């Protein structure tokens, strides 16, 4: 089987599978071989599910032979290890869940099973999705295939990097403050955070429940549309999902962008952003204008407060969500005499440094006497940030900005300075606070050969415009399908 089969997207593989030119079993074996040859170096996978994958591929081949294949039937995919999978170890990147085998599938996972996708395994991530570099994983950092000495971004580092390194056709990740868009930018792939409420979070191990959202990582925009369509929709098991029809996202691609109003938020073009990123993003904006879009400068005046607001709200919610890891119901137990000592010993041994830091910060922000000054205040400013966006979307259809101020940094570069690490999410966090959909797509490379990401943002539930704009740009620029030389 030729190596270039591994470079193909799901929509390119579809006709090959349907015509019988290749089988899902052959394709799956090619991916499993690739993972066993390369992943020691990359560390993208926490768990590889070889036997399950081959069984799923076999049954996909039967579906294909019976003529009832859908777009994802037989396509080898992988899942961020924050998504619970029945009888497949789900660690959340943490020692506390190192041996946790969930008894059920989350909704997104179940939908992909239903769609006939093949599960290659579970992907590396920052512990409990807290981080921007994958260096907070209890299983070691995932490595960036564009430069093995650099981080993949985080927290969905394995999800982004495995698509770039062709260790999965497509993957799912999660985005609470940028964890899909930032690693997608660092690894040169497409990553999309849907509107809060678009994809069910049932079976997603919660970090910050008012912000978390599941979304796709793919090599191109068409695959993103396919994968989003497969997992989106209302779910009675997640009361935050919205009871609205899921549009045909693939059908939305190809729509002309003539007359589209694209807003450029002043506050996202700041000193401190790498000049090569600034240039690549401005070139993309000119390209959109060439394609007939109208470019409008807009202002999101409360942007400066977003990082501070996020680190109050996200840590407060995390401190509450992570209380369930008490050694009684899930995972690790360090028995230590009485109940309270057992809790303490388990949590001390099971959680990493960043998770502990966030639990402490969140507990502090919620404590009596400080609640009003921190948590409540943050909620009020969150509202102002959301209002900035709704005012902007009265004037424009899409917003356009860099994803990150820098490209992928070196492993170890920011680990001693949490604040510096937190600031790397400055352009992605506001969108989560507002619950809006956003996408990161490749828009160029630095002189050193590192990928640069462009962020597009849309109004609530307008993923179709987000995808059609991204598609128009993808077709008009040369970045689609650029892969690192790792094959």
> Which residues make up the interface to ligand GLN (CB under 6 A)?
129-132, 155, 175-179, 207, 314, 425
| DSSP 8-state class, residue 305 | G
The beta-strand segments (E) located in 68-126 are 76-80, 118-123
Residue with tokens 């102002």: 384
Q: Is the dihedral of CA 214, 220, 221, 222 positive or negative?
A: negative
**Whole-angstrom distance, CA of residue 224 vs CA of residue 171:** 10
Considering the complex, what minimum distance in angstroms separates the CB of residue 102 from ligand GLN? 20
Considering the complex, what minimum distance in angstroms separates the CB of residue 173 from ligand GLN? 9
Nearest Cα neighbor of 43 from 81, 83, 89 is 81
> How many residues are there in the chain?
487
Nearer to ligand GLN, 177 or 203 (CB): 177
Which H or E run contains 173? strand 170-174
Considering the complex, what minimum distance in angstroms separates the CB of residue 36 from ligand GLN? 29
**Whole-angstrom distance, CA of residue 22 vs CA of residue 172:** 24
The answer for residues whose C-beta is within 8 angstroms of residue 96's C-beta and 6 or more apart is 325, 330, 331, 332, 346, 347, 350, 351
Q: Give me the phi and psi of 288, to 5 degrees please.
A: -60, -40
| DSSP 8-state class, residue 38 | H
Which tokens is 339 given?
A: 């109940």
**Whole-angstrom distance, CA of residue 58 vs CA of residue 374:** 54
| DSSP 8-state class, residue 199 | B
The b/e string for 47-65 (b: 16+ C-beta within 10 A; e otherwise) is bbbeebbbebbeebbeebe
Nearest Cα neighbor of 160 from 82, 219, 241, 231 is 219
**Whole-angstrom distance, CA of residue 123 vs CA of residue 177:** 19
The b/e string for 116-152 (b: 16+ C-beta within 10 A; e otherwise) is bbbbbbbbbbbbbbbbbbbbbbbbebbbbbbbeebbb
The answer for residues whose C-beta is within 8 angstroms of residue 30's C-beta and 6 or more apart is 1, 5, 6
Residues taking part in catalysis: 80, 155, 179
């Amino acid at each position: 089987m030729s190596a270039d089969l591994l470079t193909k997207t799901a929509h390119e593989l579809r006709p090959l599978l349907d015509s019988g030119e290749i089988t899902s079993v052959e394709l799956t074996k090619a991916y499993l071989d690739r993972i066993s040859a390369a992943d020691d170096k990359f560390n993208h996978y926490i768990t590889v599910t070889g036997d399950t994958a081959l069984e799923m591929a076999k049954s996909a081949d039967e579906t294909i032979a019976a003529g009832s294949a859908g777009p994802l039937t037989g396509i080898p995919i992988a899942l961020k290890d924050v998504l619970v999978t029945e009888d497949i170890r789900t660690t959340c990147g943490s020692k506390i869940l190192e041996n946790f085998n969930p008894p059920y599938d989350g909704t997104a996972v179940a939908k992909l099973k239903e769609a006939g996708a093949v599960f290659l395994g579970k992907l590396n991530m920052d512990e409990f999705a807290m981080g921007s570099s994958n260096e907070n994983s209890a299983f070691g950092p995932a490595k960036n295939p564009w430069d093995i000495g650099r981080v993949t971004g985080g927290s969905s580092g394995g999800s982004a990097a495995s698509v770039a390194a062709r260790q999965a056709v497509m993957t799912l990740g999660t985005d609470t403050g940028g964890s899909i868009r930032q690693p997608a930018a660092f690894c040169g792939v497409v990553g999309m955070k849907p509107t809060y409420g678009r994809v069910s979070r049932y079976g997603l191990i919660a970090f910050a429940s008012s912000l978390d959202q599941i979304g796709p990582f793919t090599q191109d925009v068409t695959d993103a549309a396919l994968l989003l369509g497969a997992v989106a929709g209302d779910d009675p098991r997640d009361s935050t999902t919205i009871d609205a029809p899921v549009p045909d996202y693939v059908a939305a691609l190809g729509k002309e962008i003539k007359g589209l109003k694209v807003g450029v938020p002043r506050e996202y073009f700041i000193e401190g952003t790498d000049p090569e990123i600034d240039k690549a993003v401005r070139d993309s904006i000119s390209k959109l204008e060439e394609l007939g879009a109208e470019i409008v400068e807009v202002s999101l005046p409360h942007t400066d407060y977003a990082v501070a607001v996020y680190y109050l709200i996200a840590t407060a919610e995390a401190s509450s969500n992570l209380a369930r890891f008490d050694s009684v119901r899930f995972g690790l137990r360090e028995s230590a005499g009485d109940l309270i000592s057992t809790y303490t010993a388990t949590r001390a041994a099971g959680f990493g440094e960043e998770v502990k830091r966030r639990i402490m910060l969140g507990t502090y922000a919620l404590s009596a006497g400080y609640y009003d000054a921190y948590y409540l205040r943050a909620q009020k400013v969150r509202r102002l940030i959301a209002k900035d966006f709704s005012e902007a979307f009265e004037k424009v259809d899409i917003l356009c900005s860099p994803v990150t101020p820098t490209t992928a940094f070196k492993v170890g570069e920011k680990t001693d300075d949490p604040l510096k690490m937190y600031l790397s999410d400055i352009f992605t966090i506001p969108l989560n606070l507002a619950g809006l959909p956003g996408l990161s797509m490749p828009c160029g490379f630095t002189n050193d050969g590192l990928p640069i990401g462009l962020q597009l943002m849309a109004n609530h539930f307008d993923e179709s415009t987000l995808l059609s704009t991204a598609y128009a740009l993808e077709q008009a620029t040369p970045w689609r399908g650029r892969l690192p030389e790792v094959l």
